[in-house]
Amino acid sequence: MLELIFVLGFFFILLLTGVSVLGVLAALFVATLLMFAGGVLALMIKLLPWLLLAVAAVWIIRAVKKKNNACTRYGVERERYRRRDYRRYSRGRY
């Protein structure tokens, strides 16, 4: 609501000072873009701690899952893939 009052006041002050309607619309457009960019920047700064928390949580979860996976720990996964590829390219002999 405060932004709307600001925009209306800006509009009327420019009209009272003698700026043309086209100049007022151009100024309103530029002010809207600048206020939008400032709002996005403020929102990004406000949400930055939560974004960092989410990144840290995903990093920790991936590290725990990778550590508890027995196939990657003992090298079984590499051998299993090798066997599957061997059967795929052997054309039915095995």
pLDDT at 83 (0 to 100)? 54
The residue segments making up the domain with residue 31 are 2-89
List all residues 6 or more positions away from 78 whose beta carbon is below 8 Å from its beta carbon: none
User: How many domains are there within the chain?
Assistant: 1
> Would residue 94 count as lying in a domain?
no
Q: Distance between CA atoms of 18 and 28, rounded to whole angstroms?
A: 15
pLDDT at 51 (0 to 100)? 93
> Would residue 79 count as lying in a domain?
yes
pLDDT at 45 (0 to 100)? 93
Mean pLDDT of the chain: 77
Alpha helices in the chain (DSSP H): 2-16, 21-68, 70-74, 76-89
pLDDT at 73 (0 to 100)? 52
Query: Does pTM surpass 0.85?
Result: no
- The whole-number average pLDDT for the span 71-88 is 53
